[in-house]
Chain A
Amino acid sequence: MTFRIAMRRFTRAGLWLAASALAVPVHAARVPIQFWHAMSGELGVEVQHLVDGFNATQDRYQVIAVNRGNYDQTMLAAIAAFRAGTPPDIVQVFDVGTATMMSARGATVPVYALMQQQKQPFATGLFIPAAASYYADAQGRLLSLPFNASTPVLYYNKAMLARAGVTPPASWAQMGAAGTRLLATGAKCGFSTGWPEWIQFEQFAAWNGLPYASADNGYQSFQGVHLLLDAPAFRKHLGDLAAWSRSGVFRYGGPESNALPLFINQTCAMYLDSSSSMAAIAGGARFPWGIAPMPHAASVPGAPQNTLTGGASLWVMARVPADHLAGIAAFLHYLMSAPVQAQWARATGYVPVTRGGYDALQASGYYRQNPGALVAVQELSNKPPLAWTRGLRLGYLPQLRQIQRNALEAVLAGRQTPAAALRQVVQQGDGLLQRFGETAGGER
């Protein structure tokens, strides 16, 4: 009796072993696709959800998502891996890294070419124009896949605005007036800004239809490009910010989203930041708040134009094994599908990058329930982009941004006049752009 039971157990164990022995090779035979991304915390969890969804439909490929730190670190890791001959298959690179990736011919595989070669349906027209134009070449072909897209919006404290008897300002002139009213009704500060250089220079330029640099912001060529940031509209805006900083209407809170606590603790009644900060504000704010479009410069004819896409795109690296390419293309195709786009936007607050994703969210009533989420989409597609409001295609963009932030800080602290600070921005920036033109590949 006992022998029989033992025997049965033994055979059962044997069967299980045999089954797993069979299962393991099948599992291992799936081709691994390395996907390096910069999404940590909640966002990282959402990326993993997307990847799990893809892997569940696959028996040939398995995408392995790895968080490599923040945007800077992820890009750096990919570059180091490429130099060492072991690049990841797909890497997420932030908007400002675009020109560096693009100029490195031979380091990446253009996404449009990969999709064509792998016979996956793909067209630039499938994407929201503002998202596509940032990552497309001069011929409108997508070199990377738009992934997480955001744009600046104005967050406002409903109670504080109601107390002052003002509505969210549509123009910068109205912003000044509203700020003065707010101070008069007990507020400590009218508004603050996150990402100063991104919002007050890059997005200010595009939203008001102003060129940021010559050669259509570098889209036409990497050579001979110079900054156009010393135009009167920028000088006036910088002068306004300085005056408001002195009067208390505007309070500067430092780089990135460091100023966010000023809005959360109701020091400032309004706050400009990326639309992707919605979750952070929803988590922190203990008061009714709303989302409005970023103010525009009423004195500039044609404003508002459209805002630029911030966030990141996915690049396919060159020198990856040839048998990975079909899997990479299948994964990118999956990411473009309407349900995946809708799921991603809903969970993260990013803007859907495909028209299909937007339509799916619209049809499900998402934007009726979350009108604030629609503001970013409307800004991005306010008008069809002009040649110089598609995006920025400039090398050393992180450094250019830093130069602008330094200039802004010098002006706000009263150390420099707006005109002198902007002259310096252009002078230093042009030096960098010239250097980039020398190392970047010739015509594009």
Chain B
Amino acid sequence: MGGSRTAGEPLPGTWFRGRWLPWLLLAPQLLVIAVFFLWPTLRALRDAFYQGDAFGLSEEFVGLRHFAHTLGSAEYGHALLLTLAYALLTSALSLAGGFALAVAVEGLRSGRTLFRTLFLWPYALAPAISAALWVFLFRPQVGLGAGLLEHVGVHWNPALQAGQAQALVLATTVWQLLAYNFLFYGAALQSLPPSLLEAAALDGARGWRRVRDVIWPLLAPTTLFLVVTDLTFVLFDTFGLIDVLTQGGPDHATETLVYKLYEDAFRNFDQGAAAVQSLLLMLLVTGLGVLQLRLQRRRVPA
């Protein structure tokens, strides 16, 4: 029975031979993909080559003009670099933070549940809600955090100071991602085989040494997974956060790719430009997904 199957032959144990039942069972999911993914993608692909008015009353084929315009614009280049820096920095900080917190909490003798619950809280919030909390804390002259900063001599005005606005967005994003990374690292730590850790302990690996040489390599699959999810989160789900915190300002300082896309599509009714940007963004994320699959296959042999 161990021989290889030829294509089309049913799997051992499969008791229906017809082709329609699998398709029927797949249909709901395929429908969802077609309506919510394929159709909009094709629509964006088409719109990227047309210039029309908002109401769809007239349009003309403009070829690659939108692509040239978007890729040639300094604003898009700026948004791209900003997004990359933002994504890498937030992911790195929240990964390191989540890992450190998880190691610290799992090493506790008591109170683990309490800390787990507390550190998980931010994850339960929608990005827009956590941003609203931070706005409340850091509104100049009013917020508690803003007051503290003024107290230590920082002239706090993120409405005007690009660096301060970026720091605010960065801090809020890291705060939110930290909980997610903490959760996954915590779970992964608990599933590490105790025998390995004991063996390491017998060999004299303790404290930092144990974390660096034993735990961190063992958690590589989790880290890989988190890198990709974090990056995807920063690329897409931070829209609400930025909208509430800074609206992309001051002077484009926090205008990431997805925020620029929103502005062009829904505030400026510039469909062609928005279609091009959404296609580019899709390429970026598809690339990330492929990279993840490649790495996973290499590093984590089944």
Which A residues are within 8 Å of any B CB, using their own CB? 72, 76, 79, 82-83, 100, 103-107, 245, 251-255, 258-259, 261-262, 265, 267, 396, 398-399, 402, 405-407, 409-410, 412-413, 415, 438-440
Contact = CB atoms under 8 A, between A and B. Distances in A.
Interface stretch (B25-33, B52-60, B232-240): B52-60
A406 B53 contact: no
Chain B interface size range: 20 to 34
Contacts of A396: 268, 270
Contact of B266 (A72, A259, A406): A72
Contact of B251 (A265, A267, A406): A406
B161 interface: yes
B250 A267 contact: no
Contacts of A399: 263, 267-268, 270
B128 to A, nearest CB: 14
A396 B253 CA distance: 21
A413 B251 contact: yes
B55 A253 contact: no
A405 B250 CA distance: 8
Contacts of A438: 51
B268 A415 contact: no
Nearest to A396: B268
Q: Which of B52, B141, B263, B267 has the most CB of A within 10 A?
A: B141
A106 B252 contact: no
Contacts, number: 82
A293 B251 CA distance: 29
A82 B56 CA distance: 9
Greatest chain A CB density within 10 A among B51, B54, B160 is at B54
Contacts of B159: 252-255, 258-259, 409
Given A79-B54, A265-B142, A405-B249, 10 more contacts: A76-B266, A79-B55, A262-B140, A265-B141, A267-B141, A398-B268, A409-B160, A409-B250, A413-B160, A439-B58
A97 to B, nearest CB: 9
A398 B267 contact: yes
Contacts of A251: 157
B160 A439 contact: no
B141 A415 contact: no
Interface of B: 51-58, 139-142, 157, 159-162, 247, 249-252, 263, 266-270
A106 B160 CA distance: 43
A261 B267 contact: no
A438 B269 CA distance: 15
B55 A261 contact: no
A62 B55 CA distance: 27
A261 B57 contact: no
A86 to B, nearest CB: 13
B160 A252 contact: yes
A82 B269 CA distance: 14
Contacts of B52: 439
Contacts of B57: 104-107
A398 B56 CA distance: 20
Contacts of B268: 396, 398-399
Q: Nearest 9 A-B pairs (CB), nearest first? A: A254-B159, A409-B250, A107-B55, A406-B251, A409-B251, A104-B55, A399-B268, A83-B56, A410-B251
B269 A412 contact: no
Contacts of B160: 245, 252, 254, 409, 412-413
B21 to A, nearest CB: 36
